[in-house]
Structure 1
Amino acid sequence: MSAIPVRTPPASPTPEAIEALLRLPLLDLVGRANAVHRAHHDPNEIHTASLISIKTGGCPEDCAYCPQSAHHHDVELTREALMNPDSVIAAAKRAKAAGAERFCMGAAWRSAPEGAPFEAVLTMVREVSALGLETCVTLGMLSESQARRLADAGLTAYNHNLDTGPEFYSKIITTRTFQDRLDTLAAARAAGISLCCGGIIGMGETLRDRAGLLWSLASLDPPPESVPINMLVPVPGTPLADRPPLPSTEVVRMIAATRLVLPRARVRLSAGRRQLSQEAQILCFIAGANALFLGDTLLTTPNAGPDEDKVLLDLLAPVENVAA
């Protein structure tokens, strides 16, 4: 498999320059990011997506943050086989009715299997696409042949996060290399599928590691169209269960730096949003986030509920009347 192209134009930021951005005074950083955001995007547009787990648990990878890993025996999680396509399509219809523009399907596999399971996923992609929704899947590692078949079925985007910077990566995952992830991104890109690729903060990484993640994303040619920024959601029974919660300003900083480094990307405020106040979430949007996930669950971790989502989006809408 050919490696994904890497771009190194003179204007490409270095890890050191990105770390310097992350260290700026917060108001300066957010101000710069907001200006770049407004130059490339409608500041009032928030893209919405819904994410479900179509196959849960039993994953042979040892990702330290993930409750679906078969290595973490003390996690309380019910394993579930691959969902029936009809059930997935019904969930997609509900998501569309709730306002989702993209429907994302995640399966806890090390790599996408062949045979009946993959054919079922192709059916899901075709049917979700036929509903008029953007379609996204995350199935683990992917071959070039599988990527082409997903593209032919109408897949919009393939999600495959880098998770963290290359230097910190082996402290979080040992069963799959950083290059493995780049190879899967290359397969999806070669098939004409857009990329949804980001990472997680709060796992014990340094600012240099966060800068390394953003540098790796910016170095892809072209960079990902969608960049989810996740905060660690510590799950009992995983190796990172005792990590302390991040201050909300840390995710604001990461989103602002992401917007500056990847000005044209759709930056997704993703896992961990439930930990943030409404005001902190709004600050994330000011800093450059322009997408979020609707629904009360992201795969297996809690997310803001529909009522909370409606209140948040209403706060962002134009004001028609003010009480006397």
Structure 2
Amino acid sequence: MTTTAETTTDILDVARAQVLERGEALTQAQIVEVLRTGDDRLADLLALAHEVRMKYQGPSVEVEGIVSLKTGGCPEDCHFCSQSGQFTSPVRSVWLNIPELVRAAKQTAATGASEFCIVAAVRGPDDKLMEQMREGVAAIRAAVDINVAASLGMLSQGQVDDLVDMGVHRYNHNLEAGRSFFPNVVTTHSWEERWETCEMVKESGMELCCGGLVGMGETIEQRAELAADLGRLEPHEVPLNFLNPRPGTPFGDLEPMETNDALRTIAAFRLALPRTILRYAGGRELTLGDLGTRDGLLGGINAVIVGNYLTTLGRDPKEDLALLDDLEMPIRALNETF
């Protein structure tokens, strides 16, 4: 009978040979094994994930800022989100005008970021939103040298084509959760609908940014399922969010994820996605704090969102930039984005 320590050592040895040396991602079953490793092996796991990151991604970090073009009033019932119009959470519908959008893009560029993402709390864009996007993207590109990304919900093929025509560099559309857990998170649309939008984006030539949210009550197996789903999809970038329970939402009373579980998840996702940009997204401040944020950057993360998120506060961008400097991780220049 093998001990826990022996089993843990075995999966790390397997991961080193398979992922680091041969460049082959972990299988779903192997991801489960990694997520089950004990705290006594966490430092070794993070070190291995960092080696994989450095080998396939290098030391540079991609920095992005985000802003909401339309905040609140979303008709969908994503149970973690305070922008849903179905819950009693405090966010109410607000539209951002074009000059404010350009100002936010300039502020983001001033941090050294190479990416600026425009987000709207909608099921999918209507004609009004698409026209605002066209005006906004044109204004930003005329005013500042920065890649423009978008996150506008589910798309039709015509809308995908329009975003390409506007010059949108990357599209964000998260799977949110593994397929089996998704009905516990959203009931107003399906996992398959999200997948279809992601496939259209990939086929269009835009870069696909697709990740998810962990700490919503999913099992370890379902967390591994999300990582494996993303591995099959092969997005350019995976933003990893940690649940920040918002008052008034169905998940508002859940406890934040334990720091070590979050760090194990970061490392597991890196071993499942060795050649993919893995980005810190929402919830890291609550779940990881300052020390955990550093550990994650030394455990597989190679991109960050700086400043505030859509409905929650983030860290001061100066703190993140100082941390990257301290770790000798240069910010990826605009012309270095993949």
Tell me the TM-score normalised to structure 1 length: 0.89
Classify the secondary structure of the residue corresponding to 1:140: coil
Specify the alignment match of 2:99 in structure 1: 86
Matches within 5 A, 1:156-235: 156-220=169-233, 223-235=234-246
Structure 1 residue identity aligned to 2:46: V
1:120 to 126, 129, 132: 132
The answer to whether structure 1 residue 63 and structure 2 residue 86 are counterparts is no
Classify the secondary structure of the residue corresponding to 1:292: strand
Residue 306 of structure 1: CA displacement?
Answer: 2.9
Specify the alignment match of 1:280 in structure 2: 292
Alignment deviations for residues 216-248 of structure 1 (CA, whole Å, 9 cap, x no partner): 01112xx01110010101111111111112121
Which has the higher mean CA deviation after the structures are superposed, 240-249 or 120-129? 120-129
The answer to whether structure 1 residue 27 and structure 2 residue 38 are counterparts is no
The answer to whether the Cα contact below 8 Å between 2:115 and 2:147 also exists between their aligned partners in 1 is yes
Distance 1:128 1:207 in 2: 42
The answer to whether the Cα contact below 8 Å between 1:85 and 1:124 also exists between their aligned partners in 2 is yes
The answer to whether the Cα contact below 8 Å between 1:125 and 1:150 also exists between their aligned partners in 2 is no
Extract unaligned runs of 5+ from structure 2: 1-23, 330-338
Classify the secondary structure of the residue corresponding to 1:302: coil
The answer to whether the Cα contact below 8 Å between 1:53 and 1:300 also exists between their aligned partners in 2 is no
Specify the alignment match of 2:65 in structure 1: 50
The answer to whether the Cα contact below 8 Å between 2:34 and 2:268 also exists between their aligned partners in 1 is yes
Structure 1 residue identity aligned to 2:258: P
Distance 2:111 2:297 in 1: 21
Classify the secondary structure of the residue corresponding to 1:105: strand
Structure 2 residue identity aligned to 1:71: Q
Residue 249 of structure 1: CA displacement?
Answer: 1.5
Specify the alignment match of 2:313 in structure 1: 302
Structure 1 residue identity aligned to 2:279: R
Which has the higher mean CA deviation after the structures are superposed, 303-312 or 99-108? 303-312
Residue 174 of structure 1: CA displacement?
Answer: 0.4
Specify the alignment match of 1:289 in structure 2: 301
Residue 13 of structure 1: CA displacement?
Answer: 4.2
Distance 2:180 2:77 in 1: 17
The answer to whether structure 1 residue 40 and structure 2 residue 56 are counterparts is yes
Classify the secondary structure of the residue corresponding to 2:94: coil
Structure 1 residue identity aligned to 2:145: G
Structure 2 residue identity aligned to 1:261: A
Structure 1 residue identity aligned to 2:93: R
Extract unaligned runs of 5+ from structure 1: 1-10, 319-324
The answer to whether the Cα contact below 8 Å between 1:67 and 1:235 also exists between their aligned partners in 2 is yes
Distance 1:245 1:206 in 2: 15
Specify the alignment match of 1:6 in structure 2: none
Residue 263 of structure 1: CA displacement?
Answer: 0.9
Structure 2 residue identity aligned to 1:41: Q
Structure 2 residue identity aligned to 1:277: G
Structure 2 residue identity aligned to 1:146: Q
Classify the secondary structure of the residue corresponding to 2:44: helix
Residue 12 of structure 1: CA displacement?
Answer: 6.1
The answer to whether the Cα contact below 8 Å between 2:170 and 2:207 also exists between their aligned partners in 1 is yes
Alignment deviations for residues 50-101 of structure 1 (CA, whole Å, 9 cap, x no partner): 01111011111000000000110x21123203x2222211210111112221
Classify the secondary structure of the residue corresponding to 1:211: helix
The answer to whether the Cα contact below 8 Å between 1:144 and 1:187 also exists between their aligned partners in 2 is yes
Residue 28 of structure 1: CA displacement?
Answer: 3.2
Distance 1:287 1:309 in 2: 16
Distance 1:127 1:41 in 2: 32
Specify the alignment match of 2:16 in structure 1: none
Q: Which has the larger share of helix?
A: 2
User: How many residue pairs end up in the alignment?
Assistant: 301
Q: Which runs of 4+ in 1 moved over 6 A?
A: none
Classify the secondary structure of the residue corresponding to 1:267: strand
Specify the alignment match of 1:270 in structure 2: 281
* Identity %, equivalent residues: 38
Tell me the TM-score normalised to structure 2 length: 0.85
Distance 1:269 1:12 in 2: 20
Classify the secondary structure of the residue corresponding to 1:48: strand
The answer to whether the Cα contact below 8 Å between 1:101 and 1:134 also exists between their aligned partners in 2 is yes
Distance 2:141 2:157 in 1: 21
Please give the root-mean-square deviation of Cα atoms over the aligned residues, in Å: 1.6
Residue 208 of structure 1: CA displacement?
Answer: 0.6
1:76 to 83, 86, 90: 90
The answer to whether structure 1 residue 17 and structure 2 residue 33 are counterparts is no
